[in-house]
């Protein structure tokens, strides 16, 4: 049946339209060229429609429009903003649903009126009704937000057992804050963070969020989206501000950071690290989730709301970190600056995801730039640490040649630094240290090694150079001692401390086995130098040379020379006892090794000397040998093992006869 046949159908206009539709379906279903037939049929049908009478706009339809307008007027006027204090969404779900349906119908009526009679009194009446409805919905929207918004606080975070802020290590320097999350509920939107480190919580109860969403849809559809966004952002910004207050996030300027005492600075950064994690991964992530819930169907409104709520607050968080990065370099600040670097670098992926909007590009770039500047601050602080070692010019010697405070400070600092190895490798990889042009060969060899290859090479060289700078300072400080033997003991103690610290921590990976082995060899050399400086005079008394010269003879042995030799030995031992009073070797193993090394030279030599000359002394002098032989080998040995403990030593009393 062609279009011409459709015209002959009885039953009026509706039957003709139905018959035509059926014919179109039938034709499209059997035609081999559907596109051509569809265009031909619809073009003919369009010609027929153009000739139809405008009677479709019947008086009946006009009556329906009037009736619908009156019904909308009744429902909307009932909740006029000037009517009492009762709130629409407190009166039951059905009442709110009817009101929103009336607003939706009114919107459609206004579109119909605009198309048919834009200047009629009806359109003016409808416009007034719409303005009244929007004022009511705006008020409802604001009230729901206010009455259902709760700010975040640190105590609340610590009670959420399923949420934890974890750090990558257990360093005592790092701030580790625990918090939890109840999961929030709901499925993730495609534009929300996917990282499992994000912890969204329910900022507004679900039923309230659904009411907010319904109001937002109604207002946006009616062209009042801007008003809705304004109420939302103003209210949520106040919640964020209150959360910041609860978390202790305040505005801090560069000038204030510069003036902070170390204890304040230390506590502030620990606090800020915890707050940044909560704000980025909980507060702002949850605010974005709320924007998704309320404005899900209106992407521009959704993004606009989140940007307006979070952008300035996030900038304030970053402002403190930026101020720290720009503050004066100070060695004690290094580890806190590295903590900030690690935290912000770890948060960057979350920031990139949360603030993916074009309007937040500057914020994302700023965060990435601050990470770079924190890296610069770390490198600058390492340089300042070297300068601080160089500037240490105290002339006071450490009592007894023990560990110098500079040695323990530097090595503890480097040990602590090694805990941050992975992060510091990243920070220093592309910026090798600038060494002096004329490094002595004896020092330059310590900077060589097969391990100085790969990404950690730059950090290894930096750390080794800092130890070399320390050794140079110690060499200068050893010259403060008037006793050469004590200066060698001082160097031995301090270098041994350096080696032990290097071997007993992660620092060994940065210093390298070859570096430690070479310095361990120097410890042994300092021990040899000490022994020569302190014990040569004592040991020289036990030599046989010169005993057969002068005096009376007995078998070729000079009795006087023998007496003088024993007297000289006794005097040398007593003088050494006096000089060594208070000398210290704090490491027990090193002390035992040193004593054994001395004993292996002294005790056999003394026993041999006694064995050969005791009888000669007694037969020649006619006096008891104890007059000249004051110590047994065992007494000397006991004396040796009392050395280097920081208290006066004494050789055992003469044996009673």
Distance CA(269)–CA(261), nearest Å, equals: 12
Distance CA(540)–CA(605), nearest Å, equals: 10
Distance CA(404)–CA(480), nearest Å, equals: 12
Q: Calculate mean pLDDT across residues 308-315.
A: 94
Q: Which CATH code is given to the segment(s) 392-525?
A: 1.10.357
In which residue ranges of the chain is CATH 1.10.357 found?
392-525
Distance CA(295)–CA(49), nearest Å, equals: 41
In this predicted structure, the answer to whether residue 367 has a pLDDT above a threshold of 60 is: yes
Distance CA(635)–CA(602), nearest Å, equals: 12
What pLDDT score does 451 carry?
65
Range in 34-48, 59-73, 306-320, 434-448 with the lowest mean pLDDT: 34-48
| 277 vs 124 pLDDT, higher one | 277
Domain 154-204+235-380 has CATH 3.80.10.10: no
Q: Calculate mean pLDDT across residues 347-373.
A: 94
What pLDDT score does 547 carry?
72
In this predicted structure, the answer to whether residue 32 has a pLDDT above a threshold of 60 is: no
Range in 501-505, 528-532, 553-557 with the lowest mean pLDDT: 553-557
- pLDDT of 167-193, one tens digit each? 344 454 433 333 333 333 333 343 433
- Rounded percentage of the chain residues whose pLDDT exceeds 90: 52
Q: Calculate mean pLDDT across residues 8-20.
A: 42
- pLDDT of 127-171, one tens digit each? 888 888 888 889 989 999 999 988 888 776 654 534 444 434 445
In this predicted structure, the answer to whether residue 50 has a pLDDT above a threshold of 50 is: no
Architecture of domain 541-641: Up-down Bundle (1.20)
Distance CA(324)–CA(192), nearest Å, equals: 31
- pLDDT of 397-438, one tens digit each? 899 999 999 999 999 999 999 999 999 999 999 887 777 766
In which residue ranges of the chain is CATH 1.20.1280.170 found?
154-204+235-380, 541-641
What pLDDT score does 162 carry?
42
- Supply the mean pLDDT for the chain: 80
What pLDDT score does 620 carry?
52
Distance CA(212)–CA(481), nearest Å, equals: 81
Q: Calculate mean pLDDT across residues 628-650.
A: 86
Q: What HEC string does 391-454 produce?
A: HCCCCCCCHHHCCCHHHHHHHHHHHHHHCCHHHHHHHHCCCCCCCCCCCCHHHHHHHCCCCCCC
| 230 vs 73 pLDDT, higher one | 230
């Amino acid at each position: 049946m062609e279009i011409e046949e459709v015209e002959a159908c009885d039953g009026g206009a509706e039957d003709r339209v139905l018959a035509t539709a059926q014919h179109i379906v039938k034709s499209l279903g059997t035609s081999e060229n559907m596109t051509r037939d569809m265009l031909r049929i619809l073009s003919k049908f369009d010609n027929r429609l153009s000739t139809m009478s405008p009677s479709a706009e019947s008086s009946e339809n006009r009556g329906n429009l009037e009736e619908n307008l009156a019904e909308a007027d009744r429902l909307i006027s009932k909740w006029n903003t000037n009517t009492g204090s009762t709130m629409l969404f407190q009166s039951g779900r059905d009442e709110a649903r009817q009101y929103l349906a009336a607003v939706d119908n009114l919107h459609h009526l206004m579109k119909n009126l605009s198309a048919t009679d834009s200047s009629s009194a009806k359109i003016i009446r409808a416009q007034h009704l719409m303005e009244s409805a929007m004022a009511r919905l705006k008020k409802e929207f604001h009230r729901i937000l206010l009455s259902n918004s709760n700010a975040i606080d640190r105590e609340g975070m610590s009670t959420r057992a399923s949420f934890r802020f974890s750090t990558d290590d257990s360093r005592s320097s790092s701030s580790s804050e625990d918090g939890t999350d109840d999961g929030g509920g709901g499925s993730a939107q495609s534009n929300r963070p996917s990282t499992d480190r994000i912890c969204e919580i329910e900022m507004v109860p679900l039923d309230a969020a659904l009411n907010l969403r319904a109001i937002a849809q109604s207002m946006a559809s009616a062209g009042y989206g801007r008003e809705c966004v304004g109420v939302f952002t103003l209210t949520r910004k106040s919640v964020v501000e209150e959360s910041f207050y609860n978390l202790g996030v305040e505005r801090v300027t560069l000038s204030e950071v510069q003036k902070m005492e170390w204890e304040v600075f230390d506590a502030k950064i620990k606090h800020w690290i915890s707050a940044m994690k909560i704000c980025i991964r909980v507060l702002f992530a949850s605010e974005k989730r709320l924007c998704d819930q309320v404005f899900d169907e209106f992407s521009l409104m959704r993004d606009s709301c989140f940007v307006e709520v979070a952008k300035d607050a996030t900038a304030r968080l970053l402002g403190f970190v930026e101020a720290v990065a720009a503050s004066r370099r100070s060695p004690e600040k290094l580890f806190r600056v590295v903590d900030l670097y690690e935290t912000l670098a770890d948060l960057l992926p979350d920031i990139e995801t949360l603030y993916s909007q074009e309007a937040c590009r500057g914020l994302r770039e700023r965060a990435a730039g601050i990470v770079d500047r924190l890296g610069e601050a770390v490198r600058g602080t390492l340089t300042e640490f070297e300068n601080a070692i160089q500037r240490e010019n105290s002339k006071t010697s450490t009592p007894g040649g023990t560990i110098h405070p500079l040695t323990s400070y530097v090595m503890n600092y480097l040990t602590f630094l090694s805990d941050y190895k992975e992060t510091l490798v990243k920070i220093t990889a592309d910026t090798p240290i600038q060494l002096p042009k004329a490094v002595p060969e004896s020092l330059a060899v310590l900077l060589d090694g097969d391990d100085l290859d790969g990404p950690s090479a730059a950090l290894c060289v930096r750390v080794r150079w800092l130890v070399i700078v320390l050794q140079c300072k110690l060499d200068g400080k050893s010259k403060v001692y008037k006793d050469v033997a004590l200066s060698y003991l001082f160097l031995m103690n301090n270098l041994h401390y350096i080696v032990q610290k290097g071997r007993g921590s992660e620092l060994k990976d940065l210093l390298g086995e070859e570096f430690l082995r070479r310095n361990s060899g120097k410890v042994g050399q300092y021990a040899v130098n000490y022994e020569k400086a302190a014990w040569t005079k004592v040991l020289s008394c036990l030599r046989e040379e010169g005993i057969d010269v002068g005096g009376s003879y007995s078998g070729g042995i000079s009795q006087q020379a023998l007496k003088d030799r024993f007297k000289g030995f006794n005097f040398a031992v007593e003088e050494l006892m006096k000089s060594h009073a208070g000398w210290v070797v704090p490491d027990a193993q090193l002390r035992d090794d040193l004593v054994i090394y001395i004993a292996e030279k002294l005790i056999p030599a003394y026993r041999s000397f006694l064995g050969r000359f005791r009888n000669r002394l007694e037969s020649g002098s006619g006096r008891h040998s104890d007059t000249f032989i004051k110590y047994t080998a065992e007494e000397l040995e006991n004396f040796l093992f009392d050395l280097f403990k920081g208290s006066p030593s004494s050789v055992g009393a003469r044996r009673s006869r």
